[in-house]
Amino acid sequence: MKEQRGIRRKFPVRMQKKLVFLFMVLVLAFIALVGRLYWIVRENENGYQKQVLSQQRYDSATIPYRRGDIVDAKGTKLAVSEKVYNLVIDSKVMLSKDASGVEKYLEPTLEALGSCFADLNMTELRQYITGHPDSSWYVPLKRLTYDQIGDFQMLQAEENSLIRGVWFEEEYMRMYPNGSLAADVIGFSRSDNQGLYGLEEYYNDVLNGTTGREYGYLNDDSALERTIKPAVDGYTVHSTIDVNVQSIVEKYLLDFNEQYKNKAHEGNGAENVGCVIMEVNTGKVLAMASYPTFDLNDSRNTDALIGSNKYVQEDKENGYYEIKKTGTIINEAVLAEMTEDEIYVNLNNLWKNFCITNTYEPGSTIKPFTVAAALECGAITGNEHYTCNGSLEIGGHTIHCHNVWGDGDVTVEKAIESSCNVALMKIGQQMGKEEFARFQEIFNFGLKTNVDLAGEARTASLMFPVDQMGPADLATNTFGQNFNVTMIQMISGFCSLINGGNYYEPHMVDKITNANGATIENIEPRVLKQTVSESTSALIRQYCKAVVVGANGTGKTARPAGYVIGGKTGTAQTLPRGNKEYVVSFMGFAPVDDPQIAIYVVVDRANAERQDDAKYATRIVRNILTEVLPYLNIFMTEELSDDERKELEEKQLEITNMYTRKPEDDALENLEGDSANEGENIGEPTGEEGTGEGGSEEELQQPKWMSFPVDPGTGYRVDPETGKKYDADTGDAIEEGLDAMGSDIPSNPNIVNPPED
């Protein structure tokens, strides 16, 4: 006990105080350290967060979605997204040293890169790596395919590989398997998945998906674990376009261009050529195309501009701008001198869809609409007769018929068949401007059709206001002058005229599916309104049939072998009046007794000495329907003649041999030139202005103008008594300063720009 008491005495009070003091110092030091750490974190929080995030580059990554496909009505892919890879170089890792402090990854990695990627500039790559030792992100090559990176990945995966600091970032690249096919309809998309033009733009939100994410984190055992939020791919858009029908249409638009380019002047075969084929009873668009066109996989290739008119942008004082045509044809020399801004303006003009964005005066294709409106409102019964003496005095103006000699006694049917302006003007007088304007709106002129494509033009400002419409204005409106339309407006309204009066909303897509093929949405045909009655529709079909098969029909050359079709030709002058530049067209349907499809072809200022010839359009229609109708299982309605049978055999041989015909070998042209019924021989009477079509000499008396002598200096026939000049082939009066129909009245003041603007 004494010994134990002695031990306790060895720790005096002074020693205990020292221990307490030391403890307090340690506590204060710990508090100071905590305070200092708190201050550092508070003052430098953002910087530390950036460092942490930068160190997690490989642990947290974006997973790209796949943009949905665009397919045709039968599933053929029109637009797809394929996975591609970007080569990413991490200089910091590549220059890092091993445990022994030796830098041994650079040379093996560069050697592997050089052997696997021939397009890689190894000198520049080495300079970048050594000049940026702290860089973790450098992309020397983009959009490589899986096959292109496969060999490198095998070397990288080998045991004891010294390849470091290289990885591949995944993304998707938009591709168009058919190049320029249906370019106007499809449109294209940028690298950021933003659709431009066509279906790509209109259905952009449907085609785009949702980006995914891969997260990396350390668990309780300090092991790296990953959490993946998968990307959601975009939906697939099923268009109504039939690739085979589209291909046929584009083939003959290209043929037309090859036949007429550089013919009267340098440049394409026409300013524009457009075609739309639509199902009459659904509003589905089976084909829509125009020329010139472009390659969707190389949309900025300026070679596509060669042969087109050059456009320039003129800035206005109010901040707006106007795109104007210069009249200069783009060739290689002109293209070389164009600025980047000028090239972009012209590419934008090329990318637009002529069938829905460009406006023009419809000409005589509007006549069935005028007659249908008059029948429907009770202004006429269809049994009327009119006398045409070649012109009509209205509102203090003399407005001429295309046939300056007059058509004589004209029935309502013959007014459509021979395209008599005088009869249409008289029908317009019976109807009145209020009823005429009311039916223009019923037929949807001046309004958008709401077709599911980006860029449709609204033409409300290009219509003649009823409160400003005088007698002469009404008269010219009845035959398609002084107001503007688009192709999609015309064919949509025309389908309602011939299908019993049902106006279907035109549409380009009938179904949307997800990545697994499940249907997300069905887009059914949608009837918007009733335009005319069934009885009126039946009469319009009858009148349009006469245009193709009647003695004085202006559309004979549109009839394909073995079929009777209906339709209407159109000729309209562009602005300014008297420039001798014309838009010609044909709008038809087949078969005539049970319409299944409608077709509309517009040729905008053909590259020819004389542009006002509707055969530019009717021949394209005939060529297209000759192939499209059998493909669509629409059976022939007529017996074939020997010439027609021979023609079809030759065409079938061309298709079988995948032979692209040359214009000079076109069997159809030979057939048309030999056909007495089509009235294409020089000196035959004309139907519509500039069509060169009419009845045979047995059916019509030779007109007076054919006896006039031809002036060798001008090539015109000259009336010895009056000195007036007439076209030697068609008999049209040559009068400078007159508008498309020989009228001396001014143009619609609302139409301030040429149709192409």
What CATH number does residue 86 fall under?
3.90.1310.10
Residue 10 pLDDT? 57
Helix (H, G, I), strand (E, B) or coil at 575: coil
User: Is residue 434 a contact partner of residue 442, using CB atoms and an 8 Å limit?
Assistant: no
**Residue 663 domain-assigned (yes or no):** yes
Task: Using the 3D structure, point to which of 220, 239, 258 is the last residue of a domain.
Answer: 239
Q: In this structure, are residues 307 and 269 in contact, taking their beta carbons and an 8 Å threshold?
A: no
Query: What pLDDT, in 10s, does the model give residues 79-88?
Result: 999 999 999 9
What single letter denotes the amino acid at residue 116?
C
Residue 63 burial by CB count (10 A; 0-12/13-18/19+): exposed, middle or buried? middle
CA distance 313 to 298: 24
d(CA 489, CA 360): 11
pLDDT tens digits, one per residue of 202-224: 999 999 999 998 877 656 665 66
Q: How far apart are CA 594 and CA 500, in angstroms?
A: 11
Two structure tokens written together for 432 = 């009145």
**pLDDT tens, residue by residue, 136-167:** 889 999 999 999 999 999 999 898 888 999 98
The 10s digit of each residue's pLDDT in 165-178 is 998 989 999 999 99
Of the candidate ranges 333-347, 536-550, 568-582, the one whose mean pLDDT is the lowest = 568-582
What's the average model confidence in pLDDT over 543-558? Answer: 95
- Check if the beta carbon of residue 104 is closer than 8 Å to that of residue 272: no
Q: Output the 3-class SS for 662-704.
A: CHHHCHHHHHHHHCHHHCCCCCCCCCCCCCCCCCCCCCCCCCH
pLDDT of residue 729: 52
State the number of CA atoms in the 13 A half-sphere of 519 facing the CB.
7
Judgement on whether residues 226 and 366 belong to the same structural domain of the protein: no
pLDDT at 714 over 60: no
Token couple for 445: 């002129």
Confirm if 109 and 164 have CB atoms less than 8 A apart: yes
Are 182 and 277 within 8 A, CB to CB? no
Predicted local confidence at residue 189, as pLDDT? 95
Q: What is the pLDDT of residue 673?
A: 40
Residue 645 and residue 596: Cα distance in Å, rounded? Answer: 24
**Residue 642 pLDDT > 90:** no
Residue 385 has pLDDT above 80, yes or no: yes
* Mean pLDDT within 289-317: 93
Confidence class of residue 122 from pLDDT cuts 50, 70 and 90? Answer: very high
Same domain, 230 and 366: no
Q: Is 52 exposed, middle or buried (0-12, 13-18, 19+ CB in 10 A)?
A: exposed
Tokens at residue 718, please?
């000259």
The better pLDDT of the pair 66, 318 is held by 66
How far apart CA 430 and CA 175 sit, in angstroms, is: 57
Determine, yes or no, domain membership for 261.
no
Assess contact for 309 and 330: CB atoms under 8 A.
yes
Q: Could you tell me the two tokens for 612?
A: 């006002």
Please tell me the predicted confidence (pLDDT) of residue 281: 97
Residue 389 within any structural domain of the chain: yes
Q: What gap in Å lies between CA 673 and CA 676, rounded to an integer?
A: 8
Q: Which residues, 6+ apart, have CB-to-CB distance to 489 below 8 Å?
A: 444, 445, 447, 449, 459
Distance CA(468)–CA(482), nearest Å, equals 12
Q: Which tokens go with 208?
A: 């785009």
Domain boundary among 216, 239, 262: 239
What average pLDDT does range 351-363 have in this prediction?
96
Q: How confident is the model at residue 700 (pLDDT cuts 50, 70, 90)?
A: very low
Dmax over CA atoms of the chain, in Å, equals 163
| One-letter amino acid for residue 89 of the chain | I
Indicate whether 227 belongs to any domain.
yes
Share of the chain above pLDDT 70, in %: 82
- Band of pLDDT at residue 338, cut at 50, 70 and 90: very high
pLDDT at residue 740 in the model? 37
Average pLDDT over residues 270-286: 98
- Residue 446, pLDDT score: 94
Alpha helices per DSSP H over 238-366: 243-260, 332-337, 340-351, 354-357
Question: Is 732's pLDDT higher than 70?
Answer: no
pLDDT at 748: 67
Same domain assignment for residues 218 and 79: yes
Q: Are strands 188-189 and 717-718 parallel, antiparallel or unpaired?
A: unpaired
Q: How many CB atoms lie within 10 A of CB 510?
A: 17
Polymer length in residues for the chain: 757
Domain membership of residue 386 (yes or no) is: yes
Mean pLDDT in residue range 594-609: 97
Q: Which two tokens stand for residue 603?
A: 């040729």
Q: Where residue 750 falls among pLDDT bands split at 50, 70, 90?
A: low
Model confidence at 696, pLDDT cuts 50, 70, 90, reads very low
Over residues 546-555, mean pLDDT = 94
- Find out whether 400 and 391 touch, Cβ atoms under 8 Å: yes
Give me the domain span that covers residue 217.
61-239
What pLDDT band is residue 738 in, cutting at 50, 70 and 90?
very low
Helix (H, G, I), strand (E, B) or coil at 708: coil
Residue 642 resides in a domain: yes
Q: Does residue 10 belong to any structural domain of this protein?
A: no
Whole-number pLDDT of residue 653? 81
According to the model, what pLDDT value does residue 678 have? 35
Name 77's bridge partners: 71
Q: How far apart are CA 453 and CA 226, in angstroms?
A: 43
> Is 332 inside a domain boundary?
no
Per-residue model confidence as pLDDT tens digits over 649-661: 888 887 777 544 4
- For residues 689 and 402, is the Cβ–Cβ distance under 8 A? yes
Paired tokens of 534: 């069934």
Q: What is the dihedral of CA 406, 410, 413, 415, to 10 degrees?
A: 30
User: Does the pLDDT of residue 594 top 90, yes or no?
Assistant: yes
The whole-number pLDDT of residue 43 equals 65
pLDDT of residue 669: 44
Location of structure tokens 């012209």: 346
Assess whether pLDDT exceeds 90 at residue 266. yes
Sign of CA dihedral 262, 264, 269, 271: positive
What pLDDT shows up at residue 755?
Answer: 34
pLDDT score of 481 more than 60: yes
Reported as half-sphere exposure (CB side, CA atoms, 13 A), residue 491 has a value of 33
Last residue in a domain, options 239, 260, 287? 239
CATH number at residue 599: 3.40.710.10
Query: What distances in angstroms separate CA 16 from CA 8, 10, 27, 652, one per listed residue?
Result: 12, 11, 17, 116
Contact 274, 585 (CB under 8 A): no
Q: What is the mean pLDDT of residues 265-271?
A: 96
Confidence of residue 692 (pLDDT cuts 50, 70, 90): very low
Number of domains in the chain: 2
Q: What is the mean pLDDT of the chain?
A: 85
Separation of alpha carbons 651 and 629, rounded Å: 14
User: Cis link prior to 591 (omega < 30° from 0)?
Assistant: yes
Beta bridge mates, 214: 61, 228
> Distance between CA atoms of 557 and 120, rounded to whole angstroms?
59
Task: Report yes or no: 325 and 576 within 8 Å, Cβ to Cβ.
Answer: no
| Of 89, 270, 68, residue with least CA distance to 169 | 89
Q: How far apart are CA 498 and CA 279, in angstroms?
A: 12
Instruction: Tell me the one-letter amino acid at 288.
Output: M
> Rounded to the nearest 5°, which phi and psi values hold at 639?
-70, 145
Helix 367-377 vs helix 433-442: angle between axes, to the nearest 10 degrees?
110
* CB distance 551 to 411 below 8 Å: no
Helix segments in 632-725, DSSP class H: 642-656, 667-674
234: left (phi over 0), alpha (psi -120 to 50) or beta: beta
Q: Identify the top-confidence range among 96-110, 192-206, 662-676.
A: 192-206
> Which DSSP letter does residue 389 get?
-
pLDDT of residue 235 exceeding 80: yes
Higher-confidence position of 418 and 670: 418
pLDDT attached to residue 664: 47
